[in-house]
Structure 1
């Protein structure tokens, strides 16, 4: 029985009212007020709060969570008058079953795992395992984590820095510390994809007007329509590659130092977010860039470089991880037209092999524009990633992040409370991914392990499962 099918079975038992709910212990809310007084707090509640008619089944207790059992009873008796759950009702139920139990093994490798991401529909999972002759593996989640495609990367410069699966899941883009982004046909019948031997890995050259011999790409993302790729590079630039015309359509000299992370803000593709070692997050509006020639806005608040950005998908809110050991929540309507605070470089500290200075943890940016700051995790050794929790199952009411202290942290977006800390790995957790529809989270670590965390159902014992590689005879 697949993990997803097992969850469907177990969830029916949970919905009967016997589920163990997460109590959510926390230390201080880390600069986040008890109730974030901002529109994002209200939007989050709207997307994860039961319908007012269902809340009415507990008169006088509207501020308390409505139990799953009472909500199901209200739905069956058509208490709301609609005969079904709204999306907010569903996310209210699902968000109470956090993926905190386990872990169960997905794979165990002899080299560090750098990148791990679910596809948009959750059917596939992509992981990058570094080392000589490193592999990108695509696992079929519904088929017991069977390896659907094993991609052997050639002519690799240092390591694969990022991967991105196209929205239709037909193509996989991967980048390294070179000017070329490679594209693999993820949907082809070739299981063992050896670069340019069993399958062509098409190269997209981004080195337009670039004389830097050390040019490398840190971040690469498909647009939501799959027609473009945006990349952030070591020459402090953002590159947009048009896959239809097969050329770079836009290059932006975006920052003063490495661009570690880029992403499209929403499905329109007009807005791009970027984060850099110059401590800044920036917003770029392609509709007016050619006339203005500068960022639409600058977001200040981090005291060290930005390692990752995730968009809420609404073209308005984003979160970022920084080497100042914080995650920050931003509203682009609060951005400035320019950087008003000079970057202060601490030449005595390097995040790759040193601990963050204790005295620096109490420092605050004098012009901090962020809505909230979350701090408990550590952003050291590598470019640690952070994300909003899924909209479908949680209403995006949480944010979660890997950590160099070998853990995964989950915070309440509104209160800042640390609601869970997942501890298992023996190395930094660079990346982690929450399944888009089920309470399942997968973390990957430098210890070579890729594991999944789930909400429990029956008495399951965490085990390490070595995935099967689907074999096909290849003629060439």
Structure 2
């Protein structure tokens, strides 16, 4: 390995140290996230009492819980949210798959709408398809991309779900209507349903040139926030129809940006500089993050927020998902750029490096088992409504979807069917349904066997 990576890794400027691969030494969630997850997913005190679960064992069979509900032991005739999640957590979407769509080009993006009525898939060949989930998954809109460079890098539905934006390797983001448009090609004018938004700002009378990797609507739908290949975060004002500002956020590509919660005031970003950063949008004009989180040894491909303004997860090219608590962030990175040469686009990750841990790791948990290679693979918390966010799930370069238990760190589900990298996957917000999109061109739907097919 020395010939590939140069000088001894432990002596490099990043100061990374090795540790033994013993289960007790792996980072596990702290007591706070354990408690918060258990409050959302464990049966209530009343349920324990009325199902004769005297020892308060966390797991109560769904049959006992249903009987208690039908007998109206609670006086409300229904489950609490935690009881509901406890029942539904027995039914992971691991059966199938059933085909949704198949194309001859790679599938890059899977995305359910917030209410689960729509599903979006984007293919490298230029098709952006919107499916009507409640109408037998029929194609509601088949948008042909304009100005596509290489592939779609991201899509985002507007808060009112009337339109969708898509980004690729350019500073141009296109916005297209979903509602009120005919599916008949003879009646549809792509120029009329598309609008191009130019995120570039002129510097010294020259327009900037960069690609957009990540795009998100603000909560009120008035702005778009983008992570860019010129190491920046860019904000576009939709009402003024012009870029608002462009800040130098990282020292390498910004692969992912997302909002911390519904207020839209706090942003998380992840970059190929291995760092996660937290930004207060009320202070964005100062070009300085509110804090930095260190722990990944390689670039960050995706970030998903728990939605509570406190916890988020990130997928890294070091083949790990990390769970973060922003209360642990610092003002500095505690890490200089690495000097070894490894390229995830064509090289396999060295086995010796899988058991290396950053000495200043600020994450509160680490999840391993999946593979992050070739593309910006995405990871997510499972839905609040049906699972209480008890799980983390991710695509993988091993052609599978991996599901981890947030608290134990154990892999509880492995969805294997595809013949190539699964770049993205999406769990229905209310039902035990998960859809995976793969480079084999397949969009596949996974259910629990007892679910309606």
TM-score, length-normalised on structure 2? 0.91
Q: Which residue of 2 aligns with 1:136?
A: 128
CA contact (8 A) 1:212 1:235 kept: no
TM-score, length-normalised on structure 1? 0.86
Specify every segment of 5 or more residues in structure 1 that has no aligned partner in the other structure, as ranges.
1-26, 461-476
Work out which of the residue numbers 39, 43, 54 in structure 2 matches 1:46. 39
Residue pairs, 1:379-418, within 5 angstroms? 379-418=372-411
Q: Which residue of 1 aligns with 2:278?
A: 283
Work out which of the residue numbers 272, 297, 301 in structure 2 matches 1:303. 297
- C-alpha distance in structure 1 between counterparts of 2:387 and 2:90, whole Å: 8
Matched, 1:158 2:158: no
Query: Aligned to 2:288, what secondary structure does the other structure show?
Result: coil
Residue 188 of structure 1: how far off its partner (Å):
2.4
Which whole-Å deviations, capped at 9, do the CAs of 1:94-136 have from their partners, x for residues lacking one?
A: 12110000000001111100011000000110000112xx100
- C-alpha distance in structure 2 between counterparts of 1:55 and 1:295, whole Å: 46
CA contact (8 A) 2:432 2:448 kept: yes
Which whole-Å deviations, capped at 9, do the CAs of 1:293-318 have from their partners, x for residues lacking one?
A: 31000010000000000011111110
CA contact (8 A) 2:48 2:54 kept: no
CA RMSD of aligned residues (A): 1.9
Q: Which residue of 2 aligns with 1:80?
A: 74
Matched, 1:341 2:341: no
Q: Which residue of 2 aligns with 1:464?
A: none
CA contact (8 A) 1:441 1:453 kept: yes
Residue 212 of structure 1: how far off its partner (Å):
7.4
Which whole-Å deviations, capped at 9, do the CAs of 1:43-67 have from their partners, x for residues lacking one?
A: 1111112121011123333124111
Matched, 1:65 2:59: yes
CA contact (8 A) 1:321 1:384 kept: yes
Matched, 1:90 2:89: no
Higher relative contact order (CA 8 A, sep 6+): 1
Q: Which residue of 2 aligns with 1:17?
A: none
Q: Which residue of 1 aligns with 2:256?
A: 261
Which whole-Å deviations, capped at 9, do the CAs of 1:209-236 have from their partners, x for residues lacking one?
A: 4557651000001122222111000110
CA contact (8 A) 2:151 2:168 kept: yes
Matched, 1:199 2:197: no
Q: Which residue of 2 aligns with 1:332?
A: 326
Q: Which residue of 1 aligns with 2:163?
A: 171
Q: Which residue of 2 aligns with 1:106?
A: 100
Which whole-Å deviations, capped at 9, do the CAs of 1:382-439 have from their partners, x for residues lacking one?
A: 0000000000000000000000000000000011000011000000000000000000
CA contact (8 A) 1:29 1:415 kept: no
Residue 242 of structure 1: how far off its partner (Å):
1.8
Aligned length: 428
Q: Which residue of 2 aligns with 1:271?
A: 266
Seen in structure 2, the aligned counterparts of structure 1 residues 402 and 39 have a Cα distance that, compared at 3 Å, is same
- C-alpha distance in structure 2 between counterparts of 1:333 and 1:87, whole Å: 27
Work out which of the residue numbers 421, 431, 434 in structure 1 matches 2:427. 434
Residue 72 of structure 1: how far off its partner (Å):
1.4
Query: Aligned to 1:287, what secondary structure does the other structure show?
Result: helix
- C-alpha distance in structure 2 between counterparts of 1:186 and 1:278, whole Å: 36
Seen in structure 2, the aligned counterparts of structure 1 residues 459 and 318 have a Cα distance that, compared at 3 Å, is closer
Seen in structure 2, the aligned counterparts of structure 1 residues 397 and 345 have a Cα distance that, compared at 3 Å, is farther
Q: Which residue of 2 aligns with 1:8?
A: none
Matched, 1:120 2:114: yes
- C-alpha distance in structure 2 between counterparts of 1:130 and 1:37, whole Å: 40
Work out which of the residue numbers 35, 55, 65 in structure 1 matches 2:48. 55
Seen in structure 2, the aligned counterparts of structure 1 residues 30 and 172 have a Cα distance that, compared at 3 Å, is farther
Bigger drift between 239-248 and 140-149 goes to 239-248
Residue 245 of structure 1: how far off its partner (Å):
1.8
Matched, 1:226 2:211: no
Bigger drift between 46-55 and 71-80 goes to 71-80
Specify every segment of 5 or more residues in structure 2 that has no aligned partner in the other structure, as ranges.
1-21
- C-alpha distance in structure 2 between counterparts of 1:29 and 1:415, whole Å: 12
Residue 459 of structure 1: how far off its partner (Å):
10
- C-alpha distance in structure 1 between counterparts of 2:403 and 2:23, whole Å: 14
- C-alpha distance in structure 2 between counterparts of 1:301 and 1:226, whole Å: 33
Seen in structure 2, the aligned counterparts of structure 1 residues 361 and 414 have a Cα distance that, compared at 3 Å, is same
CA contact (8 A) 2:100 2:137 kept: yes
- C-alpha distance in structure 2 between counterparts of 1:193 and 1:293, whole Å: 46
